A and B are shown apart, each in its own frame.
Chain A
Amino acid sequence: MRHDRLVLILIWRELSAGLRSMRRRDLAWIVAGGGALLAYAIADIAIALQAAAATLLQAQMLWTVGLPGALFCLGGFAGSAVARLCLSRAFAPFLKALPLSLVERRRMAAVAAWALGVPLALIVAAATGLGCFVIAKPLAPAWGLGAVMLFGSGFCLAAVLRLRSARDLVGIGNADPAGEPGGRKPWLGAFDRATPAWLSSWAWGLPAGRVRFSWRLAGAAILLGLAAVVAGSISLAHHDAVPAAMAALAGGLLVFMLSARFHPLGSPVLRTAPLGFVRAWLRLARLPLQLSVAFFLLPAGAALAAEPSAWAMPLASGFWLLVLNGAYAVFAAYFMTAPFVAALSFLSAIAYASYESLEYGRTVLIGLAALVLFLWHRAQRRYRHG
């Protein structure tokens, strides 16, 4: 069909327009700095793989379950994210008026998802094949081919599921709002009134401040609640504070990352108002932080009850939760319109810092702190000067 490549063309145009809008100096920094970092990371990983080659070759579980499972899951995540991106373009507001059916829009998104998925699969294959080659694993090219098949299966499965579940967003966008009577009180009235009022409702996109029930929200709440209860129960049963304290830290951070949204920082509504960056940033972090602390308290209380003598552990978890939440809030303010990119960058930075700290000790944390300060400075500058 003649429309099939429309979404792909749109994404390509967006990418090229984004690159063209950047200053050459910034672009050069990203290419040179990013390239150097990538080369360093590849060299570092190759050396680490070589050092651990004997152990890795012996680990049967890694080759039979771990690696295939990881590749399949990675493909699934990538497929879901790419399909979501393509669907959002297929239902872009300026395409709403075009006489394109739901099936045609799905096909446009599928073509684009396929075109984006192929290079991703090739990168995964090259990385896996190269990794096997470095540790002298027999049949390295075959492992690369297997990686493509596993990654591709996960990618296709997730992408197809997401594309099939896409509803007619054109119809939804044009729905008659008269069916939803106005005048009801906003649900977050008691929590979101601090100055500047309604900032979290805006950040979360709650229509007129009202929370709408969704299965995704309910599922996340049930899962997080279950995790807290299970971790607390294990701690109480074994009189060991560690499981509950770790669940409190990880769950609290997850709740903060899922709920923190900072896109209002890019809006002229705040940027032209007599409101400083720090105040706006703190206000946007406030409700997510309250949610994070609310989650933290249950497993942390269980940890304290399970092993009262180890009171320092939940306390340290609470301290690190605040530090990590603060660091993520900086990443999210920098990548204000792309929370997924913010989360991915933050987790990558934490993972990489943890990995390097094995070699260089805690001094790596200074590098991480410097990165957070740099992102803070850039986010503040963008808020002030666009």
Chain B
Amino acid sequence: MDSSIDPAEILAVRRLSAGYGGRAVVSGIDLSLVRGDILGLLGANGSGKSTLLRAITGQIRPLGGSVTVDGADLAGAPERAKSGFGLAMDPSDLPAALSGRQYLQLVASIRGCAEDDWPGVDVAERLGLKRWIERPIAEYSLGTRAKIAIAAALLGAPPLLILDESLNGLDPLAAFEVKRIILALASSGRHAVIISTHVVESVPGLCNRAVLLADGRMARAWHARQLAEAGRMPGAFEAEVMRALTVQAADG
């Protein structure tokens, strides 16, 4: 491991450009996450949130720049870098034929852990997955698919948890439980979390950092203190985000 790397730094993204067919969708992205961070990734549809997460998780090759996960360079040591994060799959990407238990066993076998090796809590129990777990994923509702995807992402307690709009389909109780788990992970000081979401109002209460993407660039960033201040006044953070989005739309 490079001696210049901060041991607390879990994710380091430097001058990242990524896109499809040689055309950049996101460019010039610099991002650093340390243990304890919960980053809210915001942006309009097509702003580049999912493309950025695809580049960070190695699903597309960056056009430029670098991604380092827990000290491992994604391009140089992809398997070591990928063992540093757990990604909650998009519900449509889950293996529909397998049962929930089989999917957990598949992910656990790759990560070299037990199928119930979650950080501190029984996630299946907390998210109410037990009665569905023997059934094929094809029979699951959108929310149940999101739950099994989150449960699988947490297996083996990876240092970085990535949720790409995974909170959207959850019922209120499951969403509450997932938020509690995320806060507990971050407060343990061993994990960091990235949450890409359109639920802007949930960000100040859940995240200690936020980034707004617009036209493939980081248009605005909020630190813990700014988020805490915005969170004290109901609707203040949403108003700020909407203002930034409106300005970007007008400039665009």
Contact = CB atoms under 8 A, between A and B. Distances in A.
A207 B58 CA distance: 29
Interface string B133-146: 01110110000000
A267 B94 CA distance: 8
A341 to B, nearest CB: 22
B20 to A, nearest CB: 8
Interface string B104-144: 01111111000000000000000000000011101100000
B47 interface: no
B198 interface: no
Contacts of A177: 135-136, 139
5 contacts: A202-B97, A208-B136, A268-B59, A276-B79, A386-B54
Contact of A207 (B89, B97, B111): B97
B110 to A, nearest CB: 5
Interface stretch (A47-55, A193-201, A221-229): A193-201
A272 B102 CA distance: 18
Contacts of B102: 186, 197-198, 201-202, 208-209
Contacts of B93: 267-269
Interface in A180-207: 182-183, 186, 195-199, 201-202, 204-207
Contacts of B83: 274
B60 interface: yes
B109 A182 contact: no
Interface residues of A, number: 33
Contact of A208 (B57, B79, B110, B135): B135
Interface string B67-102: 000000000001110110101011001110111001
Nearest to B53: A272
A216 interface: no
Main SS class of interface, B: mixed
A84 interface: no
A271 interface: yes
Nearest to A205: B97
Contact of A23 (B22, B109, B136): B22
Contacts of A209: 98-99, 102
Interface in A257-295: 264, 267-276
A197 B82 contact: no
Contacts, number: 99
Contact of B134 (A183, A267, A272): A183
Contact of B58 (A183, A196, A208, A271): A271
Nearest to A177: B139
B79 A182 contact: no
Given A201-B102, A208-B99, A268-B93, A274 B134 contact: no
A138 B2 CA distance: 79
Contacts of A386: 54, 59-61
Contacts of B252: none
Q: Identify the interface centre among A21, A186, A271: most chain B CB within 10 Å of its CB.
A: A271
A195 B113 CA distance: 11
B101 to A, nearest CB: 9
A385 B63 CA distance: 11
B234 interface: no
A199 B109 CA distance: 11
Contacts of B59: 268, 271-272, 386
Contact of B57 (A206, A264, A272, A385): A272
Contacts of A271: 58-59
Interface in A90-131: none
A362 interface: no
A275 B22 CA distance: 26
Given A177-B135, A182-B99, A201-B102, 9 more contacts: A23-B22, A197-B105, A202-B97, A202-B98, A267-B93, A269-B94, A273-B110, A275-B110, A386-B54
A270 B110 CA distance: 9
A276 B82 CA distance: 10
Interface in B134-163: 134-136, 138-139
A196 B79 contact: no
A201 B85 CA distance: 26
A384 interface: yes
Interface in A208-259: 208-209
B106 A202 contact: yes
Interface string A342-386: 000000000000000000000000000000000000000000111
Contacts of B138: 207
